[in-house]
Amino acid sequence: MTKNSYKYGWTATFFGGVVPSSEQEQKLAHGIGHALAQAGFLLQHGGYNGLMEEAARGAAHAAGNVVAVTLSDVNWGKFNPYISGAIQFPSLGDRLHQFLDPADLIIAMGGGIGTLHELTAAIWYAGNIRPVPVWLTGATAVRLSTFLRSEHWLFESPTRPLGFLREIPDMAAFRIALVEFVDRLKNSHNDADPTAENGHG
């Protein structure tokens, strides 16, 4: 089985915990990884177990590549068996930049304090540096979004728009959102490449 070619060089970052809150969340993570790989995305995440492993397993079943992004001087255990490559960084800040800077799409599911830290960093980055789409996916993440909004930890203002943020409750909604997003990425690619219209892109 050959790996996807990643013609457009798209990267999806996935944040999810090592202790899934439910079997439904595990299935959703698997479906997300599978759908992203089928669409031609390289998947990157922490590389460990739980929802990360389910997303990696889904991607691997669709012949996708999964890159683990971790720290060089911290031992969090072995990577899950579906990892096809790893990048190690000396600092947490460097690791976060790898998750955020090359990402075309960021997906966050439920998790622990580490996942929460990654998610809040992604929201700050998207609101202040570059409006990369951040999708809060699954029941746990959607509940978190509702709480953050109700307590005004997360709110929109003229200087802090939240158009990059989207709540996606289930796999059906994720598939629809992904198709729409991929179409926009392809159109953007074609607009940037004048040879694409002639079939040479």
Report the CATH number at residue 149.
Answer: 3.40.50.450
Residue 5 domain flag? no
Q: Kindly report the pTM of this predicted structure.
A: 0.89
**CA atoms within a 13 Å half-sphere pointing along the CA-CB vector of 165:** 24
Query: Token pair for residue 182?
Result: 């991929």
CA distances, 112 to each of 15, 58, 182 (Å): 10, 22, 30
Pick from 84, 98, 93, 125: which is nearest to 2 by CA? Answer: 84
CA distances, 179 to each of 7, 53, 69, 140, 183 (Å): 16, 24, 26, 23, 6
Residue 23 domain flag? yes
Place of tokens 């947490």: 92
Residue 201 domain flag? no
Angle, vertex CA 30, rays to CA 47 and CA 36, nearest 5: 85
Residue 79 domain flag? yes
Residue 34 domain flag? yes
* pLDDT per position as a tens digit, 9-59: 899 999 999 988 889 999 999 999 999 999 999 999 999 999 999 999 999
* pLDDT per position as a tens digit, 95-141: 999 999 999 999 999 999 999 999 999 999 999 999 999 999 999 99
Helix, strand, or coil here: 14?
strand
74: containing domain: 11-193
State how far Cα 13 lies from the chain centre.
3
Q: How many whole angstroms separate alpha carbon 35 and alpha carbon 89?
A: 28
Domain tally for the chain? 1
